[in-house]
Each structure stands twice: as structure tokens, then as C-alpha cells.
């Protein structure tokens, strides 16, 4: 019996509160929000799926990469200018203390 690995989704946005990832079932139309614990660094983290019951029984991985925006998003899922520089500064600080 083979073990099926949960899929990996790339994060759209990470900020000091949330990781925001596009919904794999409603591409381009819906995003899911998970907690970030204040961590803005690149990482791979596991979360449970809460969109289509039973679709990912073992959840999925979210990958925060260099392409992930460190920002806040508005109701229309657009990147906001508000708080952008503060998050860039926080990200730089986390990078410097992580090395």
C-alpha cells in the first residue's frame, strides 16, 4: 500500500498574522487564511483543508517562498500599500536573526 503525500500549495501572501493561499478548488476566486504565528520567513508548513470536506483528508502543505508577498491584502484580494514597508522591515529583521 502506497502512502499518498498531501499536496503542496504556494502561499500568495504572508503577514504577521496570516498565511493566505489560493484555494485549489476555486482557482483565482477564493483564498484560504491560516495563521502565520508572526513568521515571515520561507518555510513549508502543514495545515488542514477546510473547503471541500474529504478532498484532502491528510491536509496540505503550504510553502512560503521568495515569490510570496509579505503584505496585507484587502477584501478584493489585492495587495495593500498600508503596512507594506513595516512588513518588509520585519521580514529583514527575521532574516538577519535567523542566520
State pTM to two decimals: 0.85
- Check residue 57 and give its pLDDT: 77
- Check residue 2 and give its pLDDT: 59
Mean pLDDT value across residues 17-45: 90
Q: DSSP states of 60-75 as a string?
A: EEEEE-TTSEES-B-T
pLDDT in tens, 61-95: 999 999 999 999 998 888 999 999 999 999 999 99
Domain that holds residue 43: 8-98
In a domain, 24, yes or no: yes
In a domain, 3, yes or no: no
- Check residue 30 and give its pLDDT: 86
Residues sharing a CB contact under 8 Å with residue 31, sequence separation 6 or more, in sequence order: 12, 20, 21, 22, 23, 73, 77
In a domain, 1, yes or no: no
Q: Is the pLDDT of residue 36 over 90?
A: yes
Amino acid at each position: 500500500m502506497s502512502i499518498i503525500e498531501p499536496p503542496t500549495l504556494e502561499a500568495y501572501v504572508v503577514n504577521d498574522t496570516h498565511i493566505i493561499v489560493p484555494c485549489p478548488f476555486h482557482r483565482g476566486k477564493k483564498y484560504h487564511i491560516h495563521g502565520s504565528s508572526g513568521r515571515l520567513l520561507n518555510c513549508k508548513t502543514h495545515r488542514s483543508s477546510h473547503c471541500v470536506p474529504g478532498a484532502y483528508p491528510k491536509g496540505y502543505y503550504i510553502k512560503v517562498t521568495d515569490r510570496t508577498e509579505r503584505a496585507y491584502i484587502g477584501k478584493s484580494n489585492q495587495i495593500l500599500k498600508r503596512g507594506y514597508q513595516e512588513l518588509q522591515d520585519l521580514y529583514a529583521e527575521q532574516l538577519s536573526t535567523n542566520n
